[in-house]
Amino acid sequence: MTLRVERDAAAGVAVVTLDRPHRHNAIDLATAAALGALWRELRRDDGVRAVVLTGAGSTAFCTGLDRGADIPQPGSPYSLDDPLLAVGPKACDLWKPVVAAVNGMACGGAFYLLGESEFLIAADTAEFFDPHTSYGMVSAYEAVYMAQRMPFGEAARLALMGTAERLSARRAYEIGLVSELAAPAELRAAALRTARTLASFPPEAVQGTVRALWSAKQAVLQQALAQAPALIALGSLPPERQAALFAGRRAAPEPRVR
């Protein structure tokens, strides 16, 4: 199992944990399929009125797509198969509130999940970064999601600086990406506190408010995401050149944390 789901029926809350700590909770194809299936299941579970999403262990929330995943691409430059497109709750038509509890590193494809959560609570040891440009890949979906969650200049710096920099939890809180900081040992309790509050309110009102909030930016989001496949096809290096850059990552200097 790559996902762990705990339901508190009395509180109306589900805690969803990415459970691949040995891989920094990276998303392989099985995890991607399980996330999509879970969000669709929770749409029909009236006993769950709010969700906490987190990662197992203390090192990483999620480090995006598992590099071991084999994803053959169509020959057409106008098509792109991206297994992460349906890992987020909104992509699966779930309009119940999702609170992301970021317990460690969150990078790259993790932004598909963070981008579709209502708000983020982070351990004060968490860090955010986007490795794409360092490895010859276009950050398209990830950059779009983050550009909607933080000031443009901060989103641009996060996307463009690759592995050379990491955004600290404190700085993420200062710029509004994160709404609350907690000590690592207190993160789960902090996230559960907000989720239980949300679950205690009339669900029709909460879910309607979630839908209204997303309607404020969904048209722009969908228009921007529609450009992603072409930008990735045009700007990303061939897989073998990406692999060569990735193989040399251990020789790179330690990233600056700001």
pLDDT range class, residue 20, cuts 50, 70, 90: very high
Lowest mean pLDDT among 111-115, 203-207, 231-235: 231-235
**How high is the pLDDT of residue 148?**
95
Q: Which residues pair with 227 in a beta bridge?
A: none
pLDDT range class, residue 207, cuts 50, 70, 90: very high
Task: Evaluate if residue 124 carries a pLDDT over 90.
Answer: yes
Mean pLDDT for the stretch of residues 70-74: 76
**How high is the pLDDT of residue 79?**
73
Quick: pLDDT tens for 160-202: 999 999 999 999 999 999 999 999 999 999 999 999 999 999 9
Structural domains present in the chain = 3-65+83-182+221-250 (3.90.226.10)
pLDDT range class, residue 72, cuts 50, 70, 90: confident
Q: Chain-wide mean pLDDT for the chain?
A: 94
pTM of the model: 0.94
Secondary structure of the chain in HEC code, one letter for each residue: CCEEEEEECCCCEEEEEECCHHHCCCECHHHHHHHHHHHHHHHCCCCCCEEEEEECCCCEEECCECCCCCCCCCCCCCCCCCCCCCCCCHHHCCCCCEEEEECCEEECCHHHHHHCCCEEEEECCCEEECCHHHHCCCCCHHHHHHHCCCCHHHHHHHHHCHHHEEEEHHHHHHCCCCCEEECHHHHHHHHHHHHHHHHHCCHHHHHHHHHHHHHCCHHHHHHHHCCHHHHHHHHCCCHHHHHHHHHCHHHCCCCEEC
Mean pLDDT for the stretch of residues 127-132: 98
